[in-house]
Amino acid sequence: MKNQAVWQKYSGKVAWPTILLFVFLCIGYILLWEFYSKGFSGIWTSLIGAALAYGMFTIAHEASHGNISGGVRQLLIVERILGWLSSFFLLFPFSAFVVIHLRHHAHTNDPVNDPDHYVNGSNPLSIFFRCVTLIGHYFGLTLGAHSKKNAAMKSIRNESIVFLFILISILSTVIVLGYGDALFFVFILSALIAAPILAFSFDWLPHYPHNNLSKYHNTRVVTIPGLEFLSLYQSYHLIHHLYPRVPFYKYRSCFIAIEAELFEKQSIIEGFRSQDLKLFNEQNTYIDIRSGKTWSYILEVENVFQETSDAVKIVFKNLEGNRFLFKPGQYVVVADYVADSLVSRCYSICEDPITGKLGIVVKSVQGGKLSGHLVTRLKEKDTLRVSGPFGKFILPNTIDKPFLFIAGGSGITPIISMIKFVLRTSDKNVTLLYGCRSKANVIFSNELTELSNMYPKRFTYLLSFEILDVDRQYHSIKEINRDTYCYICGPLPMMEASQIVLNKIGVPGNLVRTEEFSRESKKLTGIEHQVAIKINNTKFSYTVDTSETILEAVLKTDNEIPRACMMGDCGTCKAKLIDGDVIWSSKEDIVLLDNEIDQGYVLTCMCSPKTNITIEI
């Protein structure tokens, strides 16, 4: 059974328990007001009110994900009303909270785009200060300069301003009527006490230590019995992030249903059971690194070395002393924001695995958005998104033959890791033919010279400043043993020439490995359809190739539509298909419920036009 079928069992229905909780909380506020009016302590009133406000946040939180209506059309207006009313008790506009919270889901633990990463601090005092001031940070995102640049926030900015006007008007009226003290202790101070508690329990604690980007490891489950009732099931926060359309009171049931898979994926499950990890140990976050699994983290740059005039070596800081595990020849995917757009590229690891360090070389290429950015601007203590290790350009399991490596330019990056490993762990001979434009363009010049001095009888280093065409390569390596492992990495013409030469020499094809430093761009089909979009009071249209998603195409225009994760996980780009048909790239593990898809809702990041279409956002 697929995960989608599992979580769908707990979704898609009207959440009557949530609606009853809202009614209970409203009654609680009424009774609290009455008790305070009859002399109940103001401080105790506010502390109890903070508990009620925590509950109201759960209502707003569920409404933000569409979990109250369960996608049932007749309940959508009720859900929105409950969202706005519950947000009123928290003194914050519901529509702005929806945008901010979905953005958190789309960019969890991203220091640039996750609004809740604001609470991440370096010591208890700074953490406390950030939790206390998170509501101010939210208002800054809602009404500050950022709100005019972000398409999703810009679309609801007027609603937020109207909400604040109504809120201030109501509060002022209550004060004028002589109920200022009750208003302060029952509502205002209660909300102000609840805000940092919510910031700590929803944002800081579940995501600590705030650097893992993997969806199975960026937050946790705490299995302590009874804690789910005190936290309104936020002790199962991982379930919420994996399946945000599951109502909060179903988190535990959903966890039990998929617990075996979570253990297999080494998710962070903490508690007192024999199979659980120790509570809130930051090392739990790094279990994927320690076990040699693929991972995705925010990494700090430890050092930047200038290898050549247009190439730098970047070494990353280990996470709490944990060694990076990889195979020589593998690569990582590095991403950073360039002109407000996240750009990612693949870079080979250049370190010997024995060091436990992670290092890459980035060479600036003409028109390269990320390479130019990293080479000219990156410095120590900067952070980058790094995922890996990946790749099958690796050494054989058994090193039982000599090696020939042919590299051109930055193609030396994966190969130097292999050379170091082979020389250190075996007695086999290694030959390197390395082509560069000039002596100034030789990457790892010092390291290669050192290796030549350390292994003078086993390491043959052939450096050429000429184009490695067929004739030059044949002249350089024609004497090699045909029973040799051959690894090639560099420009495509060089690699094609290498294949010809090795075939001419008689090296069997099964001993030859190649790695291309290139990225295939998406090929357009040439079949285009018209897409018309209605967003608030704005209408625009554009053409979309059937190979592109609606969102990919609109990003090429001057128009803006709400977006965040671009992978179907958050729902920020949810739209109603008014006319026409679309093609889904995938309907598995997306945020929409089946009944919402049946009603015509689509995700612009997951759909391409099949015909001319009209959508409404």
Amino acid at 350: C
Banded model confidence at residue 340, pLDDT cuts 50, 70, 90: confident
Tokens of 609: 């036009």
Query: Which of 1-5, 72-76, 347-351 shows the highest mean pLDDT?
Result: 347-351
The answer to whether residue 538 scores a pLDDT higher than 80 is no
Topology adopted by domain 528-616? Ubiquitin-like (UB roll) (3.10.20)
The residue that leads in pLDDT, 222 or 564, is 222
What CATH class does 294-390 carry?
A: mainly beta
Residues 6 or more apart from 247 whose CB is under 8 A from it? 10, 11, 15, 17, 18, 62, 67, 70
CA distance 248 to 38: 35
For 465, other C-beta atoms within 10 Å of its C-beta total: 11
Residue 570 CA to residue 245 CA, distance in Å, equals: 10
- pLDDT more than 90, % of the chain: 72
Radius of gyration of the chain (CA): 29
Position 522 scores a pLDDT of: 54
Strand, helix or coil for residue 434: strand
Contact, 106 vs 113, CB < 8 A?
yes
403-516 has which CATH code? 3.40.50.80
Separation between Cα atoms, residue 117 and residue 109, nearest integer Å:
6
Two tokens, residue 246:
């599951």
Residue 400, CB-side half-sphere exposure with 13 Å CA sphere = 4
Confidence label for 517 from pLDDT (cuts 50, 70 and 90): low
**So what's the pLDDT on residue 404?**
96
pLDDT at position 520: 43
Q: Token pair for residue 163?
A: 């909400």
Residue range 443-492, pLDDT digits in tens: 999 999 999 999 999 999 999 999 999 999 999 999 899 999 999 999 99
Q: What per-residue confidence (pLDDT) applies to 519? A: 44
Angle between the N-to-C axes of helices 16-37 and 42-64, in degrees from 0 to 180, rounded to the nearest 10: 160
Residues 568-611: tens digit of each pLDDT: 867 778 899 999 999 998 887 777 878 788 888 999 999 999 99
**String of DSSP letters for 591-611:** SS-HHHHHTTEEETTTEEESS
The pLDDT > 70 percentage for the chain reads 97
pLDDT of residue 260: 93
Q: What is the C-alpha separation between 221 and 611, in angstroms, rounded?
A: 44
CA end-to-end distance (rounded Å), the chain: 33
Q: 210: part of which helix (H) or strand (E)?
A: none
Per residue in 234-287, pLDDT tens?
A: 999 999 999 999 999 999 999 999 999 999 989 999 999 999 999 988 899 999
Domain regions of the chain by residue span: 9-215, 294-390, 403-516, 528-616
How far is it, in rounded angstroms, from Cα 334 to Cα 342? 10
Mean pLDDT, residues 58-85: 94
pLDDT at 1 exceeding the cut of 50: no
* C-alpha–C-alpha distance, residues 519 and 524, integer Å: 15
Q: What span, in angstroms and rounded, lies between the C-alpha atoms of 28 and 191? A: 14
Say if residue 344's pLDDT is above 90: no
Q: Nearest-CA neighbor of 110 among 338, 335, 317?
A: 335
Long-range pairs of 508-513 with CB within 8 A, sequence gap ≥ 24? 508/482, 511/401, 511/483, 511/484, 511/485, 511/486, 512/486, 512/488, 513/393, 513/485, 513/486, 513/487, 513/488
d(CA 364, CA 372): 5
Residue ranges of E strands in 5-118: none
Averaged pLDDT of the chain: 91
Q: Which residue has 């690194």 as its token pair?
A: 289
What pLDDT does 209 receive? 92
Close Cβ partners of 194 (under 8 Å, ≥ 6 residues apart): 49, 50, 51, 53, 54, 57, 90
SS (H, E, C) 264-299: HCCCEEECCCCCCECCCCHHHHHHHHHCCCCEEEEE
Residue (of 411, 300, 315) closest to 358 by Cα position: 315
DSSP label of 204: I
